[in-house]
Structure 1
Amino acid sequence: MEVKARAPGKIILSGEHAVVHGSAAVAASIDLYTYVSLRFPSHSENDDTLKLQLKDLALEFSWSIERIKGALPDLGSPFASTPTSCPTEFLKSLAFLVEEQNIPEAKIGLASGVSAFLWLYTSILGFKPAIMVVTSELPLGAGLGSSASFCVAMSAALLALSDSVSLDMGHQGWLKFGDTELDLLNKWAFEGEKIIHGKPSGIDNTVSTYGNMIKFKSGSLTRMKTIMPLKMLITNTKVGRNTKALVAGVSERTLRHPDAMHFVFNAVDSISNELSSVIQSPISDALSITEKEEKLEELMEMNQGLLQCMGVSHASIETVIRTTLKYKLASKLTGAGGGGCVLTLLPTLLSGVVLEKVTTELEACGFQCLTAAIGGIGVEICFDQSS
């Protein structure tokens, strides 16, 4: 028996940075996924190891079950139905287990993700040999929620084999979790995110778990439903950035210019609220879709201008914006800024020829272009009986 799970990445449509200062923000799932497959070895394989294969990075990790038991002797029986934070002393033990694997220096940033895997696996399924294989359509560290979708897909596969959840029919062979199960899964994924990021907001894993869109403000999340088909060009500038430093920079600017920044954050709050109502209002005909898209384009452009006011844009982001503007397309950065990814709204009536021209021009600058539908389904799983 093999279980496969997939969980989507995410984008921030509006409100990044300002959300830290009390404004509303809107996040949405994208139809680019992280896939996880998990199976227990057969009796004939006689394999007593836990293996994690990161296919895209050509990395494989392997531990004997006895070695894991020795490192985590106090873990006791698995507690799948009670999401639990990893205690500090266990974090150290997990770090030792990961260090033994000799991750190449260039990929050392993955170590916390491997620790998250070990914690979630042993907490939910205990000390059992298994093989987990991970592949992803999401670029790493680009602000598209790759770590959250990894934690969500992984939690889904583990819970599906733990006998502690029931499943509903999904579509195209995929199964969905019920709402109670999704809540449990989301809490486990958040525990994985805490190991990777320290103090995550919980937004990324929530969007990846439930799909669609989420509006969040001052720590409270509201799930949104949209029937509007939205498509985005996502341009990965491939410029790495330090999110903590960018967030700190906005706070410092706020201390220097409190009145001006207060108005900036209020404007962002208004943009997020208007964007939410545009997306959720009913569609009567093709004309109303076009009108809605035009409103969204203006809101995106205004949000980008305010992000520039906050000091989080970057030369690479401005290059993308200038390039797309030549084709009358609206763009804004998504996430932390300072590099990372840029969103460009692709109107329903946009010709394929124009999209091809824009993509070619952006790729000539060394950027990576992905197209994605926005606000789709969340995590799903399927079982392969033949394995």
Structure 2
Amino acid sequence: MEVKARAPGKIILAGEHAVVHGSTAVAASINLYTYVSLRFPTASGNDDTLKLELKDLSLEFSWPVGRIKQALPDLDSCLASSPTSCPPETMKSIAALVEEQNIPEAETGLAAGVSAFLWLYTSIQRCKPAKVVITSELPLGSGLGSSAALCVSLSAALLALSDSVNLDFSHQGWLMFGESDLELVNKWAFEGEKIIHGRPSGIDNTVSTYGNMIKFRPGDLTRIKSNMPLKMLITNTKVGRNTKALVAGVSERTLRHPKAMAAVFTAVDSISNELATIIQSPVLDDLAITEKEEKLEELMEMNQGLLQCMGVSHSSIETVLRTTLKYKLVTKLTGAGGGGCVLTLLPTLLSETVVDKVIAELESCGFQCLIAGIGGKGTEVSFSGFP
């Protein structure tokens, strides 16, 4: 009996940083996924442990079920159908369970992710023995929503084998959840994100759960649907960045230059709204797609210029900009900036030869390149080993 779940990463197409100051932003799912496989032992098996394997990192953790019950005696008060935040006392007990695993010092950032795993697993499935294997196509900590994709795919897999959702086990291939079940997945994933990030916006897990795109501003989130195929080259500069410090830097600049920065945020708001309108409008033919792509390129270019005004670019980002400009391609940072990932729009009519040349040049700078379709499906599950 096994369930597999997958959930996509995300990019910010427009509006990062400005959204903190009241502007609109647009986020989209990408067809790069995190996968979770959940397998319960057979009835005749005598393995009484919960195992977690992080395949990409060649790490494996395990806890005897009796040890989990001892550490978390109040689990039965939780309901899988009612997502709840992890209480501080429970968090301490979970931290102790994680500490026992002796996570390598180089991977200490993983501790929060393993804690989120334990909270979601024990809240939804209680203390059942199982093996959970996680793999991902998303680079960690690069602004592509890897932690949200983990929390969403994990919540989806756990709920798929609970009594809280209704799915057709006999179906072959990837299955989508119904609307109310997706809402439940999203709420649980958000609880996982809170353990990892403290105060997440909820944007990453929402995009990962539902897929496609969302338009958002503080206190207002709208799901939107793309009506055109979009493909991006995502360049991971591999330069780590401090998101809190970058956000604080924009706020400090706003205090020093309130009028100029207010104009910047207003311009970003217009760009985000225009970009959302273009993406949602119907496409009649190839010419219409080319025209739309040209407009999107101009909007991306303007948005990048405004992000530079905010002081969140970086020499690595500028290297990507210069490299892609040689091939007449438009690029902007995505997410916090200061390194992280950079987006380059790949027009429909662009030749594969040009794409290969761009990638070769960027990789020679030590960057990692990924090609992704934009605005696809959200989380899905598939079953195997059912009678």
Settle same-fold status: TM greater than 0.5: yes
**2:24 paired residue number:** 24
SS state of the match for residue 76, structure 2? coil
Aligned counterpart, 2:232? 232
Distance (Å, rounded) in 2 between the aligned partners of 1:50 and 1:366: 38
1:166, distance to aligned residue in structure 2 (A)? 1.3
Distance 1:223 1:168, change over 3 A: farther
CA distance in 1, matches of 2:343, 2:307: 13
Cross-structure match for 1:48 = 48
Q: Which residue of 2 aligns with 1:304?
A: 304
Q: Are the counterparts in 1 of residues 3 and 37 from structure 2 also a CA contact under 8 Å? A: yes
Question: Once the two structures are aligned, what percentage of the paired residues are identical?
Answer: 79
Q: 1:169 to 1:175 in 2, by over 3 A?
A: farther
Say if 2:169 and 2:383, in contact at 8 Å, map to a contact too: no
Matches within 5 A, 1:88-167: 88-167=88-167
- Encode CA deviations 1:8-32: one digit per residue, 9 max, x unaligned: 0000000000000000000000000
Q: Which amino acid aligns with 1:26?
A: V
| Contact 2:170/2:386 (8 A) holds in 1 | no
The answer to whether the 8 A contact 1:78-1:122 is kept is: no
Task: Trace 1:2-13 onto structure 2 (pairs within 5 A).
Answer: 2-13=2-13
Tell me if the contact between 1:6 and 1:381 (Cα under 8 Å) persists in the aligned partners. yes
Per-residue Cα deviation, 1:255-287 (whole angstroms, up to 9, x for no partner) = 111100000000000000000000001111110
Provide the C-alpha distance between the structure 1 equivalents of 2:14 and 2:94, rounded to a whole number of angstroms. 37
Distance 2:170 2:219 in 1: 30
In structure 2, the gaps of 5 or more residues are none
Counterpart of 1:331, as a letter, is T
- Alignment partners' CA distance in 2, 1:170 and 1:226: 31
Shift in CA distance, 349/170, structure 1 to aligned 2, threshold 3 Å: farther
Aligned residue for 1:229, secondary structure, equals coil
Amino acid at match of 1:334: T
1:279 aligns with 2:292: no
The Cα shift of 1:70 comes to 1.0
Q: Deviations over 1:190-227 (max 9, x none)?
A: 00000000000000000000000000011211000112
Answer yes or no: is 1:314 the counterpart of 2:277.
Answer: no
Letter aligned with residue 352 of structure 2 = G
Residue 188 (structure 2) pairs with residue 188 (structure 1):
yes
Distance 2:63 2:8 in 1: 29
- How far off its partner does 1:78 sit? 4.4
Contact 1:148 1:193 in 2 (8 A): yes
**What residue identity is the alignment partner of 2:357?**
K
Cα separation, 1, equivalents of 2:114 and 2:51: 11
Moved more, 76-85 or 271-280: 76-85
Is 1:332 the counterpart of 2:356? The answer is no
Taking a change above 3 Å as real, the CA distance of residues 257 and 81 of structure 1, as seen in their structure-2 partners, is same
Counterpart CA distance in 2 for 1:30 and 1:381 is 17
Partner-residue secondary structure (3-state), 2:44:
helix
Instruction: For 1:77 and 1:42, locate their aligned partners in 2 and report how far apart those are by CA, in whole Å.
Output: 27
Alpha-carbon distance in structure 2 between the residues aligned to 1:179 and 1:168: 15
Q: 1:300 to 1:170 in 2, by over 3 A?
A: farther
Counting matched residue pairs gives: 387
TM-score, structure 2 as length reference:
0.98
2:207 & 2:160 partners in 1: Cα distance?
20
> For the aligned residues, what is the CA RMSD?
1.4
1:218 corresponds to which residue? 218
Residues 172-203 of structure 1 show CA distances to partners (whole Å, capped at 9, x for unaligned) of 71011000000011000000000000000000
Q: Secondary structure at the match of 1:80?
A: coil
Give distance in 2, aligned partners of 1:178 and 1:241.
Answer: 37
Per-residue CA deviations over 1:3-62 (Å, capped at 9, x if unaligned) read 000000000000000000000000000000000000111133311111110000000010
Q: State the SS of the aligned residue for 2:109.
A: helix
Hey, what does 2:79 align to over in structure 1?
Answer: 79
Distance 1:68 1:173 in 2: 34
Q: Would the aligned equivalents of 2:172 and 2:382 in 1 still touch at CA under 8 Å?
A: no
User: Residues 201 and 171 from structure 1, CA distance in 2 versus in 1: closer, same or farther, beyond 3 angstroms?
Assistant: farther
Distance in 1 of aligned mates of 2:351 and 2:172: 29
* Residue of structure 1 in register with 2:293 after alignment: 293
Amino acid across the alignment from 1:189: A
For each residue in 1:236-260, what CA deviation from the matched residue of structure 2 results, as whole angstroms up to 9, or x when unmatched?
0000000011001100110111100
Tell me how far apart the structure 2 counterparts of residues 168 and 264 of structure 1 sit (CA, whole Å). 50
Which residue is equivalent to 1:263? 263
| Superposed displacement of residue 80, structure 1 | 0.6
SS at match of 2:287: helix
TM-score, normalised via structure 1 length = 0.98
Counterpart of 1:203?
Answer: 203
